[in-house]
Chains A and B, each alone.
Chain A
Amino acid sequence: MSNSVCIRLNEIHIESILNDHDTFLFDCDGVLWCSPNILPGAIELLNCLTKLGKRVFFVTNNSLKTQRGFSQWLNEIGYQAKPEQIICTAWITAQYLKSINFKGHCYCIGMQSMVEELGREGFHISDGIGPDPVPPEADWIETNTIKFDDNINCVISAFDIHINYLKIIKAATYLSRPNVLFLATNDDVTTPQTDIAILPGEGTILASIVAASGRSPTILGKPRAPMFESIRLAFPDVKPNRSIMVGDRLETDILFGNRQGLTSLLVFSGATSEKKLDTIKQAVEKNTADKDLLPKFCIKDVNHLLQLIQSREKTYS
């Protein structure tokens, strides 16, 4: 097994990419689309791989997605996705609670997607979804006016545009009680960006709760294992050494792929530029960065991957 990394994917590798891998895992933002634009060749690639008999999964840390909503949307844009192909963090949170036989109520700093996915598995979110307003003139919070639910034994931190001081009070107070579980969907500090603004991600919200509570959560999303474990649980014939993870972000997608024993393929259409990859490569050589951040292969974008596959197909037809 070669130890080389950051190999520029081209015609000489495509044979083994296709022959040696049955399962393709795709990150979405920055790989298949750069919101709101679907990237050229993305849908065609998914259909091409499916036609070649490959299994395809969508592995996204975006906690606003649901299996139902996301698969429906993929169908609308031309790829026949089934809900079980969607491995998203709202769904994985419900799976995790199921796997630990969780009984109780949750305080969830998150949005409707969390309600939907947890509800599907019978888990009850008592509070934390949507606005919980602080009076606009307030210069203090009267703590004796805050309503707490004594049945809450789990706090979940996800993406929430309605995050505010009162919600952090509640989360941190629940977390100070004995035997209260602390989960986070993921810890990406920003969501994929526009040029206009930095968009704070789940990790930003999580940081305020971690600071106030002094507690560390169990984090479920990439780069940690649960998302791949859930695929293997549902599809036991999926093998890590015959799976490939395609992503745009080193510290989530590529680290995830490498740590689970998958082949990792970085695209330059999203969060990571060639220059950034070079910087990390140098840091790894100096032992100041984790070597698992480096992808086995890299390629400009999914369109180039499609073209390589299509040229091979032409050669063999």
Chain B
Amino acid sequence: MSTKELCIHLTELHAKSLLNDNDTFLFDCDGVLWNFPDIFTGAVELLNYLTEHGKRLFFVTNNSTKTQDDYAKRFNDIGYKAKPEQIICSAWLTAQHLKSINFKGKCYVVGMSSMKHELEREGFQICGGIGPDPLASDANAIKTDKLELDKDVDCVISALDLHISYIKILKAATYLNRPNVLFLATNDDASLPQSDEIVMPGAGSILASVAAASCRSPTILGKPHRPMFDAICLTFPDVDPKRTVMIGDRVETDIAFGNRQGTKTLLVFTGATSEKYLDTLKQQVEKHTTERDLLPNFCVKDVGQFLQFLKSTEKSTS
């Protein structure tokens, strides 16, 4: 399979076309704009540059540990005036999804307080799963008769949870074993972007244990699946995927998401995907052992370089 039109290293000319041919820019955040608290050089300037040029910006993140308000505040603090509706984060998206299916009932949520905040904002009731649910430190068995199980759970949601524990997996699986209980997951990223050598499990790791114990598969809301793009189009129906660019650092989520929705895709090498890994993938696609959707149209070192290319095209035409 030919990969000639893919993984093109961005040049000034490409940057100019991307600017001229597209109205909407979707940004992943972690590994693209920052590795918090380090904001990447040129990131904020790029966002402001694009906004000044009349582009519409959205922030499309699988990170379930922050609310829309958390992100809006963070952007404002670093110098970009973001409105909450520009932020498409997975905690907020989960609440929108439940709203869209007219969900009535109680949710057991394996996740952080951000999930509680976004769900309760839309009036949904959470019956547990947020924060620690500890066993005694000297426990060596589960006393099933001492378990506090809620009688009326209608939905189990799996997100990133720093307080994941055996009891929580037990409860989630037990609820999922009951009839007519919905199973949602914010996303299934296996790990989080890290700047050091340490592997941080992602929502996908938490989800793997809940899915294994329950023998059920969830509806997954985050990238690379559709719901985030649908949420944008619901509020902004004039967003045209053919005039949209998705900028991300992870091929399995960001790039696949963009390609599948029909947007252009731009990969940066400041996060989950290295140039070497992209090369390997490219070869696999050529041998038909990996799907083409993982390959971006363009790639660039970082958002700072994208900005430099944009600014130099302006200089050369002025």
Q: Which residues of A contact B (CB under 8 A)?
A: 111-112, 130-131, 133-134, 136, 138-141, 143-144, 146, 160-165, 168-169, 172-173, 175-176, 189-190, 194, 196-201, 203-214
Residue of A nearest to B131 (CB): A136
Known: A136-B131, A204-B209. A160 touches B197 (CB 8 A): no
- B residues near A210, Cβ cutoff 8 Å: 208
In the complex, A131 Cα to B136 Cα: how many Å?
Answer: 9
- B residues near A146, Cβ cutoff 8 Å: 198
Q: Are A198 and B166 in contact (CB under 8 A)?
A: no
Stretch of B12-20, B199-207, B290-298, B304-312 at the chain-chain interface: B199-207
A-B contact pairs, 5 of them (CB 8 A): A131-B137, A144-B196, A190-B173, A197-B170, A211-B207
List residues of B (150-190) whose CB comes within 8 Å of A's CBs. Answer: 161-166, 169-171, 173-174, 176-177, 190
B201's contact among A161, A168, A190, A196, by CB below 8 Å, is which?
A: A168
Q: Are A199 and B170 in contact (CB under 8 A)?
A: yes
A169's contact among B112, B170, B198, by CB below 8 Å, is which?
A: B198
- B residues near A169, Cβ cutoff 8 Å: 198-201
Q: Are B198 and A211 in contact (CB under 8 A)?
A: no
List residues of B (110-128) whose CB comes within 8 Å of A's CBs. Answer: 112-113
Known: A134-B162, A200-B173. A212 touches B199 (CB 8 A): yes
- B residues near A199, Cβ cutoff 8 Å: 142, 144, 170
Whether a CB of chain A sits under 8 angstroms from the CB of B234 is: no
Residue of B nearest to A177 (CB): B197
Q: Which residues of B contact A (CB under 8 A)?
A: 65, 112-113, 131-132, 134-135, 137, 139-142, 144-145, 147, 149, 161-166, 169-171, 173-174, 176-177, 190-191, 194, 196-202, 204-209, 211-215
- B residues near A164, Cβ cutoff 8 Å: 163-165
- B residues near A189, Cβ cutoff 8 Å: 212-213, 215
* Residue with the greatest number of chain A CB neighbours at <10 A, chosen from B132, B137, B171, B204: B132
10 tightest Cβ-Cβ pairs between the two chains A and B: A212-B201, A211-B208, A172-B199, A207-B212, A212-B205, A207-B208, A200-B213, A198-B173, A208-B209, A204-B213
**B151 to chain A: closest CB distance in Å?**
12
- A residues near B196, Cβ cutoff 8 Å: 143-144
- A residues near B204, Cβ cutoff 8 Å: 211-212
Residue of B nearest to A196 (CB): B144
In the complex, A151 Cα to B60 Cα: how many Å?
Answer: 40
Q: Are A161 and B139 in contact (CB under 8 A)?
A: yes
Residue of A nearest to B139 (CB): A161
- A residues near B166, Cβ cutoff 8 Å: 160-163, 200
Q: Are B112 and A162 in contact (CB under 8 A)?
A: no
Residue of A nearest to B145 (CB): A196
- A residues near B169, Cβ cutoff 8 Å: 163, 200, 204
In the complex, A162 Cα to B137 Cα: how many Å?
Answer: 8
Q: Are B198 and A204 in contact (CB under 8 A)?
A: no
Residue of A nearest to B188 (CB): A211
- B residues near A165, Cβ cutoff 8 Å: 161-164, 201
Residue of B nearest to A190 (CB): B213
B199's contact among A173, A194, A197, A207, by CB below 8 Å, is which?
A: A173
In the complex, A195 Cα to B225 Cα: how many Å?
Answer: 36
In the complex, A130 Cα to B144 Cα: how many Å?
Answer: 20
Q: Are B144 and A197 in contact (CB under 8 A)?
A: yes
Q: Are B211 and A207 in contact (CB under 8 A)?
A: yes
- B residues near A136, Cβ cutoff 8 Å: 131-132, 134, 163
B140's contact among A111, A133, A134, by CB below 8 Å, is which?
A: A111
B165's contact among A163, A175, A198, by CB below 8 Å, is which?
A: A163
Q: Are A197 and B208 in contact (CB under 8 A)?
A: no
In the complex, A133 Cα to B134 Cα: how many Å?
Answer: 10
In the complex, A143 Cα to B169 Cα: how many Å?
Answer: 24
- B residues near A194, Cβ cutoff 8 Å: 144
In the complex, A189 Cα to B132 Cα: how many Å?
Answer: 23
Q: Are B209 and A173 in contact (CB under 8 A)?
A: no
Q: Are A198 and B177 in contact (CB under 8 A)?
A: yes
Q: Are A134 and B163 in contact (CB under 8 A)?
A: yes
Q: Are B132 and A208 in contact (CB under 8 A)?
A: no
In the complex, A197 Cα to B153 Cα: how many Å?
Answer: 14
**A25 to chain B: closest CB distance in Å?**
26
Q: Are B149 and A197 in contact (CB under 8 A)?
A: yes
Q: Are B201 and A198 in contact (CB under 8 A)?
A: no
Q: Are B208 and A143 in contact (CB under 8 A)?
A: no
Residue of B nearest to A144 (CB): B196
- B residues near A190, Cβ cutoff 8 Å: 173, 213
Residue of A nearest to B134 (CB): A136
- B residues near A112, Cβ cutoff 8 Å: 140
Residue of B nearest to A148 (CB): B198
- B residues near A141, Cβ cutoff 8 Å: 162, 200
**B280 to chain A: closest CB distance in Å?**
14
Q: Are A139 and B65 in contact (CB under 8 A)?
A: yes
Q: Besides A139-B112, A163-B165, 6 other CB < 8 A contacts? A: A134-B132, A139-B113, A146-B198, A172-B205, A194-B144, A197-B171
Q: Are B173 and A162 in contact (CB under 8 A)?
A: no
In the complex, A254 Cα to B143 Cα: how many Å?
Answer: 30
Q: Are B137 and A161 in contact (CB under 8 A)?
A: no
Residue of A nearest to B112 (CB): A139
